[in-house]
Structure 1
């Protein structure tokens, strides 16, 4: 059985905002990844490569699939080569023609399809940046771990990783690891305590 991990790594502000880290969406406070990651982004890239090499597959929502595919398909190098070659599964309620190597579309009910995928695969199934899909999977206790890279900024507004908490309710977690990436990024790994 596979292990579903929200990571890639999952970048969040100190107050939990995940919206528009690169500034491409036009969010008024977007672009915080580069502005507040600074020199630590080289070390962040090493963590991203380690995670990609360890992953069995990526699981993405339709929008994240389009974003990452456009970004990584034309690139080369260790991280790009790994992301372009690894199996990718995209959850989409609308018809989608996969245009990124080794991609499979999961149509139908997302929770049912992901539960089947988790049964079928071994190893880590990483969900990068697809926080809406991730919240749905967390709501149904399908996520096993969350790995957050916390950037040293409070944005005050924006879409948050866990949403407003009304859908998820109370979800206990256990800290597995905490370390620093570079000089200023906190890397936190938590396991969900299912049934607790």
Structure 2
């Protein structure tokens, strides 16, 4: 059985929305504005190791489109190893509106998200990595399908924007399994979701 791993970047006050500033939020663009170059270089090393360890990538439609539109020049901007893995890893996108995915190795899951992802979890034996996709992540946490949360915390509080746990119906107990610095300013917290 697969292990669903949510990998998210968040501000100190928990905002996950508009990290690159392209959604137009006044508080957006925090990903690059409040860290040093070394922090981002070490973040790339961490993300590369993470995607290399994953068996498949699972995305919501908006995150899928964001990544797919940037992959042609990701080798230059991020790293060749990360870009190669992102382009070649099997990808699953949860969407009721995406008909013809243009990014290679992509399968569209267009039914009930919880049911489709449960089936994927039964088929996969390794890590099912979720990047971005905070609405999908919320759904999977609500349905108790998520197994692990890897949260990279950026050293800024922005005050406004959607948070990963904005719409939870009940407490979500987690167990901290690891904490480490990335660069000089980022903190990576790894949690397991506790099962009742």
How many residues are paired up? 191
Q: Secondary structure at the match of 2:35?
A: helix
Counterpart residue number, 1:54: 53
TM-score normalised per structure 1: 0.95
Name which of structure 1's ranges 138-147 and 76-85 shifts more when overlaid on structure 2.
Answer: 76-85
CA distance in structure 1 between the partners assigned to 2:91 and 2:167 by the alignment: 29
Distance 1:180 1:95, change over 3 A: closer
* 1:172 match: 173
For structure 2, the residue ranges without an aligned partner over 5 or more in a row are none
2:108 to 105, 108, 125: 105
Following superposition, the deviation at residue 161 of structure 1 comes to 1.1
The Cα of 1:171 is off from its aligned counterpart by: 1.1
* CA RMSD after TM alignment: 1.0
2:175 is paired with a residue whose SS is strand
**One of 124, 130, 134 as aligned partner of 2:133:** 130
Please give the alpha-carbon distance, in whole angstroms, between the structure 2 residues aligned to 1:156 and 1:164: 17
**Counterpart check, 1:14 vs 2:17:** no
CA contact (8 A) 2:138 2:167 kept: no
- For 2:154 and 2:98, locate their aligned partners in 1 and report how far apart those are by CA, in whole Å: 35
**Deviation sequence 1:132-160 (CA, Å, 0-9, x none):** 00000000000000000000001111111
Partner of 1:112: helix, strand, or coil? helix
The answer to whether 1:2 aligns with 2:2 is: yes
Residues 152 and 188 of structure 2 are in contact (CA less than 8 Å); yes or no, is this contact kept in structure 1? Answer: yes
Match status 1:120 vs 2:144: no
Q: Residues 65-104 of structure 1 correspond to what in structure 2 (within 5 A)? A: 65-76=64-75, 77-104=80-107
8 Å contact kept, 2:61–2:98: no
Work out whether residues 73 and 84 of structure 1, in 8 Å CA contact, stay in contact via their aligned partners in 2. Answer: no
Which residue, out of 151, 163, 166, partners 2:166?
A: 163
Cα distance in structure 2, aligned partners of 1:100 and 1:31: 26
Structure 1: gaps spanning 5 or more residues: none
